[in-house]
């Protein structure tokens, strides 16, 4: 694979070159500067957006895309530069100013109140004609046509918490349009969507574009940018690298602009040579902390020397599965075998000693003790055993030696391992967890969202280390909501739905749309247009 | 999994049915004994309901005040201090001005001042909301005691002018209902009227929606152009005004219209619990308050009747009833999502 897949099958490359002629510049940024303590998030950024244009802002995490758009939306106050709306300089201080100027923004984490109805969410902060009365029924009459237009099929009096993620996004878009938005900023809109939902979103964007709405599409996914945008502005380290016509640009060119060097987008790996079953889960049933049954007769076998990807919409039992595998949560029924031995009732410490390691989903709350040093975090599971402690006394010399070696081997960029782990960047924090779970060469590695929120450089480093562990004979389970990652890294892919494995297939025999269909609850027999058999995993 | 919820509900219905039958059986048996019969006569009298309502209103006002604050995302355990300071100020002001209305207004103003302090500590300084409330409560207890001893050093009970009972024409003449509900002082009516008024403001006006949004998801509210901290300040101050008035109601609840040290005696905490009991809903809160009122009226009557139980134990009764009700019914109570969490503008980055 040379490219991360992820574009929906129906997405089409732009067929013609985008022309500025005859269009108005609706938004122009001149030399925008935004500083945070210790960082320049936006360093003299220039940008020009035309009506009826889909303009992609492409860049890695931390490149300053979201910050720039939060400045435009009035959430951050700029430290320098000028904003022009329809060629008139404006002073944006609050989101209300931005809304009054026709700017709407759909945030990466939706700004919806789950406990409020759809209408309440849409009219929040607006004055009805008979202020201060709410008059929700009147508002509903005006919102309903918009909702119909965008295929929001839920009744407007439904609580937003009951909607699917795709529907919630539509509510967000309607919310912006109802306020008269002519410039719509979408911050990583596809990050939370299923492939099918992404397709629907792209159709919706197309529709808005034809209606003359200017759309700023923030993303770090190359193929989506190529599929939907007219022009692309690539950002890196707070500045604009260049703006180009999507029609003229190639994926490699964009990727290079993004990271500043030619990058190999593929996960390099040899064919896997799986050995025998290493960890087996049989008919597992388990409940989560709320008492809801999350695993419902789940079976899964991890083989030594194989990377097993687990695809699924969040909340289908992934978290509970990983917890039961690590002995953090008890099984109600079923058992777990490790090398043929029953470890269902073994403690977490026993499992770690046997060589079962774990990269938890949330590095801040589960993975690290943020207030402790890098050294202490690296040795968190072994600090009381020799050589790091002798008869209850900690052995600082051997601890420091080990920490030095690990920070070097795993490329952890810290001024000194004695520094609090809180002070490292996300990528380096994740490398600390990776180093801790890999340095003693475990037999099983369970990695949840191992590269969430990391830039391409750190992510590919982590991928290489995981492949290396596999080649050594480690059985790996990757749980990720990034299908790109699962498809790129795994040898075998299982799809989990409502606490069961729906299907397990070699990566060579499945593809994105098939997995997406199964993730949404489809049955393996009903996959449309996908006759079983080898299908190249490319979109 | 699918069948478990209805089954649970069915089981609950059996439990309630059983409890009801047991209560009925107990009452029938009690009628036979002299003590039981006497108590039943007391309970059936309209004065019992009347006393319960009078005891409930200070609690209701304080809890409605607490509700305003909590819906905006600021826990208000300082209700106790607002109530106590309100009571002291209401008493002194109506004594000096010789008008109960002056007392009511002064109590509301004093409550607002306490609210302003609580808001400053928790919103501007981002102090822990419980710690701020505990400090205010301790301060109020000491300050009112000091003020009372300084102003009324003689120790002679001075009765301040109180609100007169206001019998509603026609309704006040009804048997039972007239005495129980329609011949109270004006504060009782105002308190009851506040229930529908608050409900309407919370659920039918933009102000209510704004208030609730700030308590549920302040970041989302701010992206919609709402000034979160301003709304929270206003809410906590308004909360103080209503809770301060509860102090005035507390003074007039005693027939002699007098203040004494620690007059509120933890009622502010009961009001804090009543907000949870009422599931953050004005109507539910009313039931929480009336439950406490019934317990209070009952214990006074039991004391007077002489059931042979130390009166200290009887004093515990309303608190005990509230506690049991809270534990029994509140297992899955869910309040505003952002309750208790300070909001900062840069948190959205």
For residue B213, what is the domain's CATH number? 1.10.3470
Torsion of CA A518, A523, A528, A529, to 10 degrees: 90
B334 part of a folded domain: no
In a 13 Å sphere around the CA of B77, the CA atoms on its Cβ side amount to 13
Q: Is the distance from CB of B346 to CB of B222 less than 8 angstroms? A: no
Tell me if chain B has a CB within 8 Å of the CB of A385.
Answer: no
Q: Which residue has the higher pLDDT, A531 or B281?
A: B281
B341 part of a folded domain: no
> d(Cα A115, Cα A109) in Å, to the nearest integer?
16
B140 part of a folded domain: yes
What is the count of residue pairs from A and B with beta carbons less than 8 Å apart? 72
* pTM of the predicted protein model: 0.73
Nearest Cβ partner for B348 among A75, A96, A133:
A75
Of A74, A63, A75, A235, the C-alpha closest to A83 is A74
pLDDT of residue A535: 45
Tell me if chain A has a CB within 8 Å of the CB of B132.
Answer: no
B68 part of a folded domain: yes
Tell me if chain A has a CB within 8 Å of the CB of B217.
Answer: yes
Q: Which residues of B touch A38 (CB under 8 A)?
A: none
pLDDT digit string (tens) for A486-507? 888 999 999 998 899 999 999 8
At A471, is the pLDDT very low, low, confident or very high (cuts 50, 70, 90)? very high
Q: What are phi and psi of A92, to 5 degrees?
A: -95, 120
Is residue B331 predicted with pLDDT exceeding 70? no
> How many CB atoms are located within 10 Å of the residue A291 CB?
9
Q: Which residues of A touch B217 (CB under 8 A)?
A: 111-114
B17 part of a folded domain: no
Is residue A72 predicted with pLDDT exceeding 90? yes
Tell me if chain A has a CB within 8 Å of the CB of B210.
Answer: yes
**B328: closest CA of chain A, how far (Å):** 19
Nearest Cβ partner for B209 among A110, A112, A120:
A120
What DSSP assignment string belongs to A127-166? PPTTTTB--HHHHHHHHHHHHHHTT--S-TTSBGGGS-HH
pLDDT of residue B169: 85
Place of tokens 């600090």: A383
Task: Read off the tokens for A12.
Answer: 């089409």
Tell me if chain B has a CB within 8 Å of the CB of A157.
Answer: no
pLDDT digit string (tens) for A202-237? 999 999 999 999 999 998 777 888 889 999 999 987
What DSSP assignment string belongs to A203-263? HHHHHHHHTT-EEEEEES-HHHHHHH-SEEEEEETTEEEEEEEGGG--HHHHHHHHHSS--
Is residue B156 predicted with pLDDT exceeding 90? no
Q: Chain A 50-69, CB below 8 Å of chain B: which residues? A: 67
B340 part of a folded domain: no
Place of tokens 């959430």: A75
Torsion of CA A465, A471, A472, A475, to 10 degrees: 90
Nearest Cβ partner for A125 among B208, B216, B226:
B226
**The complex's ipTM?**
0.82
> d(Cα B28, Cα A312) in Å, to the nearest integer?
61
Is residue A409 predicted with pLDDT exceeding 50? yes
CB neighbour class for A145 (10 Å; exposed up to 12, middle 13-18, buried from 19): exposed
Tell me if chain A has a CB within 8 Å of the CB of B223.
Answer: yes
What residue numbers bound the domain in which B55 lies?
37-329
Tell me if chain B has a CB within 8 Å of the CB of A123.
Answer: yes
Residue B160's contacts (CB-CB under 8 Å, 6 or more residues apart) are B91, B92, B94, B95, B100, B103, B251, B257, B258, B259
Strands A333-338 and A341-342 turn out to be antiparallel
Q: Is the distance from CB of A431 to CB of A458 less than 8 angstroms? A: yes
Q: Is A410 helix (H, G, I), strand (E, B) or coil?
A: coil
Lowest model confidence (mean pLDDT) among A392-401, A460-469, B31-40: B31-40
Please state at what angle helix B228-253 crosses helix B79-97, rounded to 10 degrees. Answer: 60
Nearest Cβ partner for A96 among B209, B212, B225:
B225
Q: What are phi and psi of A215, to 5 degrees?
A: -120, 130
**A144: closest CA of chain B, how far (Å):** 20
Which stretches within B152-205 are classed as H helix?
Answer: 177-181, 186-204
Q: Is A318 helix (H, G, I), strand (E, B) or coil?
A: helix
Is residue A531 predicted with pLDDT exceeding 60? no
Lowest model confidence (mean pLDDT) among A490-499, A530-539, B75-84, B319-328: A530-539
> What is chain B's mean pLDDT, rounded?
87
B5 part of a folded domain: no
B109 part of a folded domain: yes
Domain count, chain B: 1
Is residue B345 predicted with pLDDT exceeding 70? no
> What is chain A's mean pLDDT, rounded?
86
């Amino acid at each position: 694979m040379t490219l991360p897949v992820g574009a929906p099958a129906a997405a089409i490359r732009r067929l013609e070159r985008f022309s500025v002629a005859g269009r108005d510049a609706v938004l122009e940024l001149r030399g925008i500067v935004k500083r945070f303590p210790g960082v320049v998030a936006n360093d003299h950024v220039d940008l020009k957006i035309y009506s009826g244009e889909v303009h992609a802002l492409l860049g890695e995490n931390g490149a300053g895309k979201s910050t720039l758009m939060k400045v435009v939306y009035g959430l951050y106050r700029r430290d320098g530069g000028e904003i022009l709306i329809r060629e008139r300089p404006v002073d944006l201080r609050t989101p209300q100013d931005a809304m009054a100027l026709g700017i709407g923004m759909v945030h990466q984490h939706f700004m919806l109140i789950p406990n409020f109805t759809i209408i309440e969410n849409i009219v929040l902060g607006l004055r009805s004609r008979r202020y201060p009365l709410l008059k929700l029924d009147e508002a509903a009459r005006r919102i309903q046509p918009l909702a119909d237009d965008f295929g929001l099929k839920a009744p407007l009096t439904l609580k937003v918490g009951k909607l699917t993620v795709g529907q919630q996004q539509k509510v967000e878009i309607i919310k912006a349009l109802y306020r008269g938005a002519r410039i719509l900023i979408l911050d990583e809109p596809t990050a939370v969507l299923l492939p099918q939902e992404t397709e629907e979103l792209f159709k919706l964007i197309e529709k808005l574009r034809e209606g003359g709405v200017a759309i700023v599409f923030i993303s770090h996914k190359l193929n989506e940018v190529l599929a939907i945008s007219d022009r692309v502005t690539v950002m890196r380290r707070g500045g604009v690298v260049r703006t180009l016509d999507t029609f003229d640009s190639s994926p490699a060119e964009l990727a290079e602009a993004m990271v500043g060097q030619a990058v190999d987008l593929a996960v390099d790996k040899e064919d896997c040579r799986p050995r025998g079953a290493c960890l087996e889960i049989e008919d597992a049933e388990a409940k989560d902390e709320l008492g809801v049954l999350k695993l419902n007769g789940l079976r899964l076998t991890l083989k030594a020397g194989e990377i097993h990807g687990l695809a699924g919409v969040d909340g289908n039992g992934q978290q509970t599965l990983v917890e039961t595998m690590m002995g953090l949560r008890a099984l109600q029924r079923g058992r777990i075998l490790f090398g043929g031995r029953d470890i269902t009732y073994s403690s977490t410490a026993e499992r770690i000693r046997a060589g079962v390691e774990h990269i938890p989903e949330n590095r801040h709350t589960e993975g690290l003790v943020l207030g402790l040093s890098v050294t202490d975090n690296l040795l968190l599971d072994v600090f009381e055993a020799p050589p790091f402690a002798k008869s209850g006394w900690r052995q600082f010399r051997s601890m420091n030696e080990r920490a030095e070696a690990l920070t070097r081997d795993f490329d952890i960029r810290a001024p000194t391992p004695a520094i609090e782990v809180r002070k490292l960047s996300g990528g380096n924090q994740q490398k600390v967890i990776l180093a801790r779970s890999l340095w003693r060469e475990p037999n099983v590695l369970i990695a949840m969202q191992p590269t969430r929120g990391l830039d391409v450089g750190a992510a590919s480093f982590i991928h290489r280390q995981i492949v290396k562990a596999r080649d050594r004979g480690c059985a790996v389970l990757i749980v990720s909501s990034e299908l790109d990652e699962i498809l790129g890294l795994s040898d075998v892919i299982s799809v989990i739905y409502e606490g069961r494995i729906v299907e397990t297939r070699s990566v060579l025999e499945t593809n994105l749309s098939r997995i997406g269909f199964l993730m949404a609850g489809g049955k393996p027999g009903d996959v449309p247009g996908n006759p079983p058999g080898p299908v190249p995993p490319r979109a | 999994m699918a069948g478990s919820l209805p089954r649970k509900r069915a089981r609950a219905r059996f439990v309630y049915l059983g409890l009801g039958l047991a209560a009925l059986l107990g009452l029938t048996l009690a009628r036979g004994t002299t003590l039981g019969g006497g108590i039943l006569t007391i309970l059936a009298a309209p004065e019992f309901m009347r006393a319960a309502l009078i005891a409930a209103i200070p609690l209701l006002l304080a809890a409605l005040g607490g509700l305003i604050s909590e819906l905006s995302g600021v826990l208000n355990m300082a209700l106790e201090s607002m109530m106590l300071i309100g009571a002291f100020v209401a008493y002194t002001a109506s004594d000096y001005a010789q008008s109960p209305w002056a007392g009511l207004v002064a109590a509301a103003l004093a409550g607002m001042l306490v609210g302003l302090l609580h808001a400053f500590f928790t919103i501007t300084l981002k102090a822990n909301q419980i710690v701020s409330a505990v400090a205010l409560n301790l301060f109020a207890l000491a300050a009112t005691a000091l003020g009372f001893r300084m102003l009324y050093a003689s120790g002679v009970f001075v009765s301040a002018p109180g609100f007169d009972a206001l019998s509603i024409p026609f309704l006040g003449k009804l048997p039972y209902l007239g005495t129980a509900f329609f011949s109270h002082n004006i504060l009782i009516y105002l308190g009851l009227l506040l229930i529908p008024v608050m409900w309407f403001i919370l659920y039918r006006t933009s102000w209510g929606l704004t208030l609730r949004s700030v308590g549920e998801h302040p970041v989302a509210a701010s992206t919609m152009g709402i000034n979160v901290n301003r709304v929270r300040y206003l809410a906590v101050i308004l909360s103080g005004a209503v809770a301060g008035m509860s102090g005035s109601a507390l003074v007039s609840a005693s027939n002699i219209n007098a203040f004494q040290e620690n007059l509120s005696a933890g009622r502010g905490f009961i009001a804090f619990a009543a907000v949870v009991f009422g599931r953050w809903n004005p109507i539910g809160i009313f039931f929480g308050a009336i439950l406490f009122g019934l317990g209070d009226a009952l214990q006074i009557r039991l004391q007077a009747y002489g059931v042979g139980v130390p009166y200290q134990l009887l004093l515990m009764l309303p608190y005990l009833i509230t506690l049991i009700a809270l534990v029994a019914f509140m297992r899955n109570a869910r309040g505003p999502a952002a309750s208790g969490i300070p909001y900062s503008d840069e948190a959205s980055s």
